[in-house]
Structure 1
Amino acid sequence: MRELTWRPLVPADAKASADLLNAIETVDRIGENYTEEDTLQELIDPYADLERASLAAFDGEALVGYVKVRHKAEAEAVHRVFLDGGVHPAYRRRGIGTALVDAGVAAAEVVHARHHPALRLVVDVHKAEHIAGVPELVRSRGFAPVRYFQRMEHALSEVTGVAVPGLRIEGWTAAADEEFRAVRNDAYRDFWGAAPMPADQWRNKIVNQTFQPEVSFLARDGGTAVGVLVTMSWAADTAATGVRDAHFMVIGTAREHRRRGVASALLGHALATAAGLGYDRASLSVDSADPAGASGIFAKAGFVPKHRYVRWAREV
């Protein structure tokens, strides 16, 4: 084996990153496929400091492993940074993953010191439970499981909307985009690990090339925005599987308006709309200990569990 070359990631690595992630998908089967545009969006994330907080391993021109760390714009008491990475299946069990995780933790300390030095630092890793070798690797580097998330899916063969008296459902418009973000931030204030999403992060993570405005809605009670649902869909997934999936990336109800049917109304409306637009399936991810009790709402709406993710954490 040739000696690997190690350096930070740069936006020009988008094509190589997509190639690596698609090779990983052929083995890990988590349902994530990528285009170059998708990976570029991640590489230009304003909260991913590639120069200080990323490392990539290359075999010649081929990217065979990487790690990058994303810090929080805002944090209280605890600054939870997110460590993401992967190794090409043909290069696993050679120590590359261990080196990358160690580099990621060190990088987390660097960006933490720059942005939230007075707070406690916790490094999070989020991976599907079934991926071989991940538990052994992260446990060996001091991580422990702290939370579980469930991917749930809904076939869109037969769906009907849900009407709630007094509630009006509006579609996304550019003029209302800031209101969508504000409701999301209010709804997620007490969600574990969540933080307010600044406008630049919203543009990068939500209103990008995967955003589906025709299946994204705001719920109003009178003139007050009380709930939000944002849908995304990945062209690479559709091309790879033949299944057009409407992924409900953001679902939230303002805290003062919970348990009044807002989320159920948004779900019903979004499911019916997606079905009418020719989507084959809807999907979402739910925290196992969601304070809003969302897992029960989703099951009632017809979503069924697909696979589970583990959130691993290490306090540094």
Structure 2
Amino acid sequence: MDLTWRPLTLEDVPALTRLYAAAEEVDRTGDHFSADDLREELEAPNVDLARATIGAWAGERLAGYGLIRRRDAANPVHMVRLQSVVHPMHRTQAVGAHLIEWFARTSREVSERAFPGAPLEVHHGLHQNERWMAGVLAGAGYTHGRTMVNMRVTLADLPPQPPLPDGLEAVPYGVEHDLAVLDARNDTFAGHWGSTVYELEAWRHLVTGSKDFRPDLSFLVLDGDKVLAFVLSHFYASEAEATGIREHYASWVGTREVLRGRGVASGLLGHTLRAVKAAGFDRSALNVDVDNAHRALGVYERCGYGVDDEWHVYVLS
């Protein structure tokens, strides 16, 4: 059957939800998205539905899609993020070639609109099991640029957690801290591979304003009004519904340079994990770059996390 290609609209969310479910039956990435999850993602301020998404339709079935997410800064390279999923019945050379051509052309257009003249680099993250798309990207000249790992700890077996250093206190997140937390996030992740700043609109849509954000399970270390360290938490109800496991997700963990090397990150994360366990969660998860410059892998291992699976980032300059 010939495919019809067109940009996505919000009315396509149910079809996109079915596409992800069909792909998960084969790829087993561990991700389960509800229609509300995908709608929130498509409504993000750095997604241009009309000019930076594409869907392939086989009649009423969404056979595959691509999305290009601009970043909030080019410093100096604009590292756009690509996403794609193709239905297992439509993983053909022709579909792969169409997506590759669309990514190349449209990434340049997205970048020029946002940051005219900036060097462009495109990043596509894939679970270790998404081998078909990895092959498509490799065939088009993308290289494996980085490995991220998902780490998990079962809370029933939570080991004794490291304390915060003397004199430091874990303070619950409050909306009055939001701008200070954003400033701390942008500071602590400066220089991390693939990272750039968040602008306020994207931050509030994707992080602290997300329907999945758990401010009651997010904690800060403060110096007056300045945030020195933070753990921000999310809970994805769609995952719990699909798996039967209530999993806390530590979405952002950071410490400013002035406190690094003193056990602040592990102490604040330990405080968070005790609160998460008391709240009735079964497990906690997070994602980290295996080559993280601040040796974060060791921090998380001290809190009981172990590596579960991998995500690979494919890059084309």
Tell me which interval the TM-score lies in, with the shorter structure as reference length: over 0.9
Deviation at 1:134, TM superposition (A): 2.6
Instruction: Give the distance between the partners of 2:164 and 2:189, measured in 1 at CA.
Output: 24
SS at structure 2 position matched to 1:133: helix
Instruction: Give the distance between the partners of 1:214 and 1:77, measured in 2 at CA.
Output: 37
Who is 1:273 aligned against? 275
Instruction: Give the distance between the partners of 1:50 and 1:15, measured in 2 at CA.
Output: 16
Q: Structure 1: which 5+ residue stretches go unaligned?
A: none
Decide whether the 8 Å contact of 1:65 with 1:97 is kept in 2: no
Instruction: Give the distance between the partners of 1:14 and 1:130, measured in 2 at CA.
Output: 24
Who is 1:8 aligned against? 7
Instruction: Give the distance between the partners of 1:31 and 1:237, measured in 2 at CA.
Output: 8
SS at structure 2 position matched to 1:48: coil
Who is 2:149 aligned against? 150
SS at structure 2 position matched to 1:106: helix
Instruction: Give the distance between the partners of 1:151 and 1:198, measured in 2 at CA.
Output: 26
What is the number of residues matched between the two proteins? 314
Decide whether the 8 Å contact of 2:180 with 2:225 is kept in 1: no
SS at structure 2 position matched to 1:209: coil
SS at structure 1 position matched to 2:195: coil
Query: Which shifted more, 159-168 or 296-305?
Result: 159-168
Who is 1:289 aligned against? 291
Decide whether the 8 Å contact of 1:57 with 1:64 is kept in 2: yes
Instruction: Give the distance between the partners of 1:174 and 1:225, measured in 2 at CA.
Output: 13
Who is 2:198 aligned against? 197
Listed as ranges, the matches of 1:1-316 within 5 Å are 1=1, 3-93=2-92, 95-159=94-158, 160-161=160-161, 162-206=163-207, 207-221=209-223, 224-315=226-317
Instruction: Give the distance between the partners of 2:308 and 2:157, measured in 1 at CA.
Output: 19
TM-score by length of structure 1 reads 0.95
Decide whether the 8 Å contact of 1:185 with 1:196 is kept in 2: yes
Deviation at 1:284, TM superposition (A): 0.5
Query: Which shifted more, 286-295 or 18-27?
Result: 18-27
Instruction: Give the distance between the partners of 1:97 and 1:247, measured in 2 at CA.
Output: 32
Instruction: Give the distance between the partners of 2:25 and 2:205, measured in 1 at CA.
Output: 27
SS at structure 2 position matched to 1:95: helix
Deviation at 1:135, TM superposition (A): 2.6
Q: Specify the code of the residue in structure 1 equivalent to 2:66.
A: V
Identity of aligned residues (%): 30
Query: Which shifted more, 84-93 or 213-222?
Result: 213-222
SS at structure 2 position matched to 1:107: helix
Query: Which shifted more, 215-224 or 305-314?
Result: 215-224
SS at structure 1 position matched to 2:232: strand
Instruction: Give the distance between the partners of 1:119 and 1:49, measured in 2 at CA.
Output: 19
Deviation at 1:221, TM superposition (A): 4.5
Instruction: Give the distance between the partners of 2:148 and 2:60, measured in 1 at CA.
Output: 35
Decide whether the 8 Å contact of 1:86 with 1:97 is kept in 2: no
Instruction: Give the distance between the partners of 1:157 and 1:223, measured in 2 at CA.
Output: 35
Deviation at 1:99, TM superposition (A): 1.2
Deviation at 1:192, TM superposition (A): 1.0
Instruction: Give the distance between the partners of 1:164 and 1:18, measured in 2 at CA.
Output: 45
Instruction: Give the distance between the partners of 1:35 and 1:289, measured in 2 at CA.
Output: 32
Instruction: Give the distance between the partners of 1:302 and 1:221, measured in 2 at CA.
Output: 28
Decide whether the 8 Å contact of 2:13 with 2:39 is kept in 1: yes
Q: Structure 2: which 5+ residue stretches go unaligned?
A: none
SS at structure 2 position matched to 1:135: helix
Q: Over residues 125-153 of structure 1, what are the superposed CA-to-partner deviations in whole Å (9 max), with x where a residue is unaligned? A: 10012322233210111100111111111
Q: Over residues 194-231 of structure 1, what are the superposed CA-to-partner deviations in whole Å (9 max), with x where a residue is unaligned? A: 11111111122112111111111111256642111111
Instruction: Give the distance between the partners of 1:259 and 1:156, measured in 2 at CA.
Output: 26
SS at structure 2 position matched to 1:290: coil
SS at structure 2 position matched to 1:157: helix
Instruction: Give the distance between the partners of 1:222 and 1:258, measured in 2 at CA.
Output: 18
Instruction: Give the distance between the partners of 1:189 and 1:244, measured in 2 at CA.
Output: 32
Q: Specify the code of the residue in structure 2 equivalent to 1:304.
A: G
